[in-house]
Amino acid sequence: MRLLNSLTAALLGLVWGVSSTSNNLTDAVTWDQYSLSVNGERTYIYSAEFHYQRMPVPELWPDIFQKFKANGFNAISVYFFWSYHSPSPDVYDFETSGKNVQRLFDYAKEAGLWVIARAGPYCNAETSGGGLALWGSDGSMGKLRTADETYHQAWLPWVTKIGQIIAANQITQGGPVILNQIENEYQENTHSPNATEVLHMEQIEKAFRDAGVVVPFTHNEKGMRSQSWSTDYQNVGGAVDIYGLDSYPGSLSCTNPDAGFNVVRTYYQWFQNYSYTQPEYLPEFEGGWFSAWGSGSFYDQCTTEHDPAFPDVYYKNNIGQRVTLHNVYMAWGGTNWGHSAAPVVYTSYDYSAPLRETRQQWDKLFQTKLIGLFTRVSKDLLQTEMVGNGTGYKLSSSSGFSWVLRNPDSGATFTTIQQASTKSRSNVTFAVDLETSAGTVTVPTVELYGRQSKILVTDYKFGSNELLYASADIAVYGVFDVDVLVLYLKEGQTGEFGLKSNQTLTYKVFGDSSFAATTNTTENSFRYTQAAGTSAVQFSNGVLVYLLDQPTAWRLWAPVTTSNPFVAPNEQIFVLGPYLVRDASITGGHLIVNGDNDNATTFEAYTGKPIESIVWNGKPIKAERTAYGSYTAHIPGAESRRISLPALTRWRSADSLPEAQPDYDDSKWIVCDKNSTLSPTKPESIPVLFASDYGFYPGAKIYRGYFDGVNSTSVYISTSGGLGFGWNAWLNGQLIGGHPGNGSLTNINATLSLPTSALKLKDNVITVVVDYHGHDQTSTAKGVENPRGILGAYLLPSGKSTSTGFKQWKIQGNAGGSANIDPVRGPMNEGGLYGERVGWHLPGCDTGSGSSNFSDSTPLEGLDKSGIRFYTTEFELDLDEDLDVPLGVEFSAVSGTVARVMLWVNGYQYGKYVPQLGPQTRFPIPPGVVNNRGRNSLAVSLWAQTDDGAKLDEVTLFSYGQYQTSFKFSQDWSYLQPGWSNREEFA
């Protein structure tokens, strides 16, 4: 097989006039300066970034993957977070629920998607600790991201284990993995063979090779900030096979719609300087952007990030600069459920990505799809040279900018045009000179509306036919009984194209677009004005050209008839109209189509074969044949389907801060008795109070500090919990202060007065609750090693760091600490609040009349003073099985409320609401976490941070939309929702 692959690659090299490169370990994936080849076929890699940790329901991964595939992607790029799989040293879980990575690979393969594996060991990704194991937050992992041997030995078991799973799923083993990334945005600041960065890269590369990974290695340069790990630039060791460059160029503003939107026009030169023997690869290119605690607007309100103009302009700009490996970060962002977020983000990781956190599609994704379908079929794009570029280049006006690429073998050209100022909202018109095999063709009228781009082609082969030129965008083409080409423009714009033919072509026009022959060339040339909706032109040589306005093109689908990510033009069916087409096939004269639909619509399909009926989601629908050979039918939507969601009532509640009382029994708590730490941060007092030193990593931590006497006047307390965290302290049950949180502060200290009325001669207790917003990434000081919890505490006036005045401190955190007592939900789901520790958030917990802890009260009544209270309720759902109804829970509170709120659904912490910071108030809950048909448990913790108390105005279950679907969203999810068991030992 390897000999055959080598021969294939060699023959392709002759055909293309170049010789492909391999890593001498496999010929299944090779490359040259133009593009990647997989199993001997050049291919444009159009990849979607997906993080399975952010969706704990594996059965929903295929839903997302099918949407990726339907929207033109042929690969996914995946981080594997060490922290998610390893709750403690030498403990790994690759099988339980959402941690079953084999299912990830299997589902990707089933969907026809290749996989780019990114297993770190460091990942970043706005996840807690950047994905490093949180058990290393105590400083025990050595010098992070260096060749330090302690660090080497810490990450080596992780890379070995995940590497073996990746190796078993490589394309060489029949799996989907085609590339493997080493580390993440790791800068080579010193080009020396003995530099620790070089040695570290070599350590990781060796570990993956020892694990059996043979596919090419890649890396992602952290913007244009350094020149790292390319074999073409100062290679002293550690270089990867294929260099990549990350870029987030949008600079968009949620409050100023005119900010940013200036494309980068230096990618081509960058790659020519630093990786000229390799294809141009963007391992992370902006699909949106993340939002932080205290941001002025939530993703839903940030309309600038929603604009489909972004992929239209930016992704075509990348194509114009010869990029042939393009990964959209994020394509689906998901949810930072539990305590998995890094402090720079909150619960939602929607990212304004093309596919929403709710799994809903929108116009931004549909425009992203048109790029993917075009690159899927445009094989001549995979070997091009830069002819020229610049303002006014080959244009009649300096208001435009163009990139002109040419395939040296076929002569096909690709001219990307954009406005000279891509942020402009003005409309411009100019003529364009296109170099064709018949000479220069001048297209006199090419229009660009504000923030629009187009790719014009010449000598473009589609099936057995060829365009001499086209000034409209090509969406896709297919080879059926005839060759079918799909073009799109905005309504009212003028398009022009010429067909190569040795005869004068006649034609018939269907639809409202005005269409006529033109004498622009000696070939068969035609000019048209795009009308709304669909038009079709049938030529006498059999060619069928669809003319679509852009919104209609957004509802164009090209489902494939192969499971191979590499799709040939004759392995497609064309469908217009539905919200989503997941798959399509022809069986026994019937077109079988599965998909989703929002509103009832006309369905049109071009199959190339006669059919008797269309079967939509299992239901036969009468089909009518059009005059030009397609078939139409009317399919139902979900707009008239009745959705009944219950009000959240029958609340029960209990005190979740009994620890504030001086007589609370903390005899089972861990005593803070360490006088030294491995942490690179010096403690502010002794004993060490860093939570990680006592085995508590995610979630809130609770401390009780004991002292005697009435002479202390105040207490100094220094805390750390990540950006936006807050904390409070109580003396013998009386609030003495704290901090509500600040989106810019990671550490907060305060000197709090001790009221003399609350002091006792013996056994005073200060209870401190420190919230947690994740461990830092390495971009913040010492990263994951930055301590959490209390950094130091001492009584004043006489206390100091070494003689604090306290006689003992105790700590409590998440139930079981690193023991991971709930492996299904995993090591980051819970924190240290009392209600969490004893399992009040879990299904089946008895909060009824037989429970002495609970009483009838609601979060709308809340607390009348400081404290923490847990509220629980249950609700039933009975959603129709053929509906996808993305659900969420919405909170609100009166202005001025100072509180911290968490939400649990069936045991999963799926929301954190901080009204004084914001911006998130709505929290999507996916099927599998919620039962679409059946009983659900819901819990809310309400932490009032001042003695004014706190209450909520609203806790509401709502839907984001409704879609008739073929996907099975109503399943038995019981294995994902283990119930309550007695946890009194963790109280």
Pairing mode, strands 465-470 and 867-878? unpaired
The answer to whether the CB of 100 falls within 8 A of the CB of 162 is: no
Please provide the CATH number assigned to the domain covering 380-578+601-635: 2.102.20.10
Question: Model-level pTM?
Answer: 0.97
Question: Which residues are marked as active site?
Answer: 185, 284
Q: What confidence score (pLDDT) does residue 17 get?
A: 43
Cα 160 from chain centre: 26
Res 66 pLDDT > 80:
yes
What b/e sequence results for 84-110 when a residue is b if at least 16 CB atoms lie within 10 Å of its CB, and e otherwise? bbbbbeeebbeeebbbbbebbbbbbbe
- Dist. CA 133–CA 822, nearest whole Å: 17
Percentage of residues in the chain with pLDDT exceeding 70?
Answer: 98
Q: What confidence score (pLDDT) does residue 464 get?
A: 98
The answer to whether the CB of 405 falls within 8 A of the CB of 385 is: yes
564: β partners: none
596: β partners: 580, 965
Q: What is the pLDDT of residues 911-961, one digit of tens each?
A: 999 999 999 999 999 999 999 999 999 999 999 999 999 999 999 999 999
Non-local CB neighbours of 269 within 8 Å, separated by 6+ positions: none
Q: What confidence score (pLDDT) does residue 852 get?
A: 78
**Backbone dihedral angles phi then psi of residue 66, each to the nearest 5 degrees:** -65, -35
Please provide the CATH number assigned to the domain covering 833-986: 2.60.120.260
Pairing mode, strands 701-707 and 808-812? antiparallel
Structure token pair of residue 85:
């799989």
Q: What confidence score (pLDDT) does residue 1 get?
A: 27
Eight-class DSSP state of 300: G
The answer to whether the CB of 759 falls within 8 A of the CB of 731 is: yes
- Dist. CA 170–CA 214, nearest whole Å: 8
- Dist. CA 254–CA 262, nearest whole Å: 16
Look at 272 and 16; give whichever has higher pLDDT.
272
Q: What confidence score (pLDDT) does residue 2 get?
A: 31
Domain 2-361 has CATH 3.20.20.80: yes
548: β partners: 488, 534
Res 861 pLDDT > 80:
yes
**Cβ neighbourhood burial of 667 (10 Å; 0-12, 13-18, 19+):** exposed
Q: What is the pLDDT of residues 643-670, one digit of tens each?
A: 999 999 999 999 999 999 999 999 999 9
Q: What is the pLDDT of residues 560-610, one digit of tens each?
A: 999 999 999 999 999 999 999 999 999 999 999 999 999 999 999 999 999
- Dist. CA 648–CA 534, nearest whole Å: 46
448: β partners: 428
The answer to whether the CB of 378 falls within 8 A of the CB of 407 is: no
Res 759 pLDDT > 70:
yes
Query: For residue 13, what pLDDT band results from cuts at 50, 70 and 90?
Result: very low
What is 885-934 written as a DSSP string? --EEEEEE--TT--EEEEEEETTEEEEEE-TTT-S--EEEE-BTTB-SEE
Pairing mode, strands 45-50 and 323-329? parallel
Q: What is the pLDDT of residues 146-201, one digit of tens each?
A: 999 999 999 999 999 999 999 999 999 999 999 999 999 999 999 999 999 999 99
Q: What confidence score (pLDDT) does residue 523 get?
A: 77
Pairing mode, strands 619-622 and 601-606? unpaired
- Dist. CA 520–CA 497, nearest whole Å: 10
CATH superfamily of 658-814: Galactose-binding domain-like (2.60.120.260)
Peptide bond into 919 cis (omega under 30): yes
Res 444 pLDDT > 60:
yes
Q: What confidence score (pLDDT) does residue 11 get?
A: 40
Peptide bond into 828 cis (omega under 30): no
How large is the average pLDDT for residues 338-353?
98
Residue 42's identity, in one-letter code, is R
- Dist. CA 10–CA 8, nearest whole Å: 5
Q: What confidence score (pLDDT) does residue 5 get?
A: 38
Q: What confidence score (pLDDT) does residue 7 get?
A: 38
Q: What confidence score (pLDDT) does residue 662 get?
A: 97
939: β partners: 872, 904
Pairing mode, strands 899-905 and 933-944? antiparallel
Start-end of H helices in 232-323 = 267-274, 309-310, 316-320
How large is the average pLDDT for residues 9-21?
52
Look at 520 and 42; give whichever has higher pLDDT.
42
How large is the average pLDDT for residues 74-101?
98
Instruction: Please report where in the chains the tokens 């609770």 appear, as a residue.
Output: 702
Structure token pair of residue 125:
């990704």
Mean pLDDT of the chain: 96
Query: For residue 51, what pLDDT band results from cuts at 50, 70 and 90?
Result: very high
Q: What is the pLDDT of residues 366-401, one digit of tens each?
A: 999 999 999 999 999 999 999 999 999 999 999 999
Q: What is the pLDDT of residues 296-314, one digit of tens each?
A: 999 999 999 999 999 999 9
Start-end of H helices in 275-310 = 309-310
Residue ranges, CATH 2.60.120.260, the chain: 658-814, 833-986
Residue 553 to residues 370, 541, 546, 704, Cα–Cα distance (Å): 8, 25, 10, 62
Query: For residue 976, what pLDDT band results from cuts at 50, 70 and 90?
Result: very high
Query: For residue 851, what pLDDT band results from cuts at 50, 70 and 90?
Result: confident
How large is the average pLDDT for residues 223-237?
97
